Structure 1
Amino acid sequence: LGGLVGCFLVWGVLQERMMTTAYDGEKFATSSVLVFANKAFAAAAALLLWAPWREKRAPACAYKPLPFVAFTWVAVSNTLSSWAQLEALKFVSFPTQVLAKASKLIPALAVGRLVNGSRYGAADYGVAAAITGGTALFMLAQAEDPGAGPANDDAGGLLMLGAYLLFDSATGPLQARFYGEHGADKYAMMFGVGFFSTLLSGLELAQSGDAPAAWAFFARHPAALPDLAVLSLASTAGQVVIYTTLELYGNVTFTVMMIVRQIVSILVSCYRFGHVIAPRAWLGVVVVF
């Protein structure tokens, strides 16, 4: 639990720092560079960990080569969800983003049924509805309270949050389908998704021409480079902890750990960046978690 919370606290703080605050009066605006760095770090780490882990777990002769091109769809959804998540921070606060991320259960249920034919009970839909209602209560209370800071109803921010929910909800079922069809260990999945996500985000950077502007920003503000490096390392370490937790303890334990991590992230963000949450909005937080 400490490893998961620690990694994602660092990741959350630096993500918000790089996307919302200025370096000597200038803000960093190229979220695709952060996506590229995070995915490249993850792919490199997985490659380094994969071979020794596989040798320890199973003989080399038992290893089944994976069709890495099959990772493409998972990588597409993963890359787009990461990009939308970072872009959303340009328009909405980090606590709002965390609450919105918790409400992804409804699209996750829909995508799971569409992609894998999964069936869910009334309790699943009831929990999803309660979480979504709590998120709506939080956002409405924030918008109505003049002391809570800027409203979080910007159309661009809501659009980015919607895109994040859609693509992130698709990533899990696509991974589950890949596991079912091909089988993969945790580092194979991490490397495959990271490798193709790095390619996709790299192509986007080349096509958009944002890379030179980003490097020029880092040249003007070298203090941003350590933030980028630690952000990427924290993201990579967090992914390793997630895959290991799911493997050793299962989904229930992982879900509880993520709830604790999200609550702590909201509190730290409010303290570190001065977000004010309206009293009624806290009721929405309680409903969600």
Structure 2
Amino acid sequence: MIPVMIWGTLIMQKRYKGYDYFLALLVTLGCSIFILFPSGADLSPYSKGRENTVWGVSLMVGYLGFDGFTSTFQDKLFKGYDMEIHNQIFYTTLCSCVLSLSGLILEGHLFLAIDFVYHHLDCFFDVALLSTVATTSQFFISYTIRTFGALTFATIMTTRQLVSIVLSCVWFRHPLSWEQCIGSVIVFGALYTRSFFKKVSEKLRPSEHPMENMHNGASSLMKGSSPRGGEP
């Protein structure tokens, strides 16, 4: 959420309120606690040395930065050019295909990939199924970004990832540490608090200036009761 808010401020000149930043920090803190404090000692990120930890955190920061830029720039394209969803998906996928094909050709792996799929036809059907599901999900992602914005999409994705991890732990019977439980409470508490504040602000918005509304209503009544031109 924080990368999306930063990119939204830089790219779209959006202004967020103080509690938005505070709740985003809480979500980030909760997710960090959940990831960095697993229950098993073998799963600890500090068991393999500081170098691996720093490199992993660097990769994660880079991923979050580029991912936040992607959704924010999609939002900018939708609002700046009145672009349809299928148009953006088509051209984005076309550019991805060109980049992937160029990488395979430059690295000399194109014919190796074709030969692998030729000798393993089951892999082709799996790739086709995965591509179909990924393409379908792009429609939902693009619709969410276009309708509700990049920040709402980031909130949904953060919640989905945490729920997926929790369900995986429950399904495969991986124990959760007490730190992970605290992290989950922080994340979901921050998300529900954000939803509560949003609903409260929407309810209070029409009655922010009651005296001004009363004055406008009285003026409208006086104008409606005044005699029209040409009438006796």
Unaligned runs of 5+ in 1: 1-104
Structure 1 residues 181 and 115: CA distance shift in structure 2, 3 A: same
Structure 1 residues 148 and 273: CA distance shift in structure 2, 3 A: farther
Q: Which residue of 1 aligns with 2:74?
A: 175
Q: How many residues align?
A: 181
**Alpha-carbon separation, structure 2, partners of 1:134 and 1:191:** 36
Q: Deviation of residue 177 (structure 1)?
A: 2.3
Matched, 1:113 2:9: yes
Q: Which residue of 2 aligns with 1:201?
A: 100
Q: Equivalent of 1:125, from 21, 26, 34?
A: 21
Structure 1 residues 267 and 190: CA distance shift in structure 2, 3 A: same
1:169-248 pair list within 5 angstroms: 169-218=68-117, 222-245=121-144
**Alpha-carbon separation, structure 1, partners of 2:59 and 2:152:** 29
Q: Which residue of 2 aligns with 1:286?
A: 185
Q: Deviation of residue 217 (structure 1)?
A: 4.5
List per-residue Cα deviations over 1:185-217 (Å, max 9, x = no partner).
111111121111222222222222333444454
List per-residue Cα deviations over 1:64-119 (Å, max 9, x = no partner).
xxxxxxxxxxxxxxxxxxxxxxxxxxxxxxxxxxxxxxxxx111111111112111
Q: Which residue of 2 aligns with 1:166?
A: 65
Structure 1 residues 271 and 232: CA distance shift in structure 2, 3 A: farther
Query: Which one-letter code corresponds to 2:92 in the other structure?
Result: V
- The answer as to whether partners of 1:242 and 1:254 remain within 8 angstroms in 2 is yes
Q: Which residue of 2 aligns with 1:151?
A: 44
Q: Which residue of 2 aligns with 1:139?
A: 35
**Alpha-carbon separation, structure 2, partners of 1:223 and 1:273:** 27
- The answer as to whether partners of 1:148 and 1:276 remain within 8 angstroms in 2 is no
- The answer as to whether partners of 2:74 and 2:145 remain within 8 angstroms in 1 is no
- The answer as to whether partners of 1:218 and 1:224 remain within 8 angstroms in 2 is yes
- The answer as to whether partners of 1:107 and 1:165 remain within 8 angstroms in 2 is yes
Query: Which one-letter code corresponds to 1:238 in the other structure?
Result: S
Give TM-score scaled by structure 2 length: 0.63
Q: Which residue of 2 aligns with 1:100?
A: none
Unaligned runs of 5+ in 2: 47-51, 189-232
Identity %: 30
| Secondary structure of 1:120's aligned partner | coil
Structure 1 residues 178 and 236: CA distance shift in structure 2, 3 A: same
| Secondary structure of 1:119's aligned partner | coil
**Alpha-carbon separation, structure 2, partners of 1:108 and 1:263:** 18
Structure number, greater radius of gyration = 2
- The answer as to whether partners of 1:135 and 1:285 remain within 8 angstroms in 2 is yes
Query: Which one-letter code corresponds to 1:189 in the other structure?
Result: Q
| Secondary structure of 1:207's aligned partner | helix
**Alpha-carbon separation, structure 1, partners of 2:97 and 2:103:** 10
- The answer as to whether partners of 2:4 and 2:154 remain within 8 angstroms in 1 is no
Structure 1 residues 265 and 224: CA distance shift in structure 2, 3 A: farther
List per-residue Cα deviations over 1:4-43 (Å, max 9, x = no partner).
xxxxxxxxxxxxxxxxxxxxxxxxxxxxxxxxxxxxxxxx
Q: Which residue of 1 aligns with 2:206?
A: none
Query: Which one-letter code corresponds to 1:136 in the other structure?
Result: S
Structure 1 residues 260 and 165: CA distance shift in structure 2, 3 A: closer
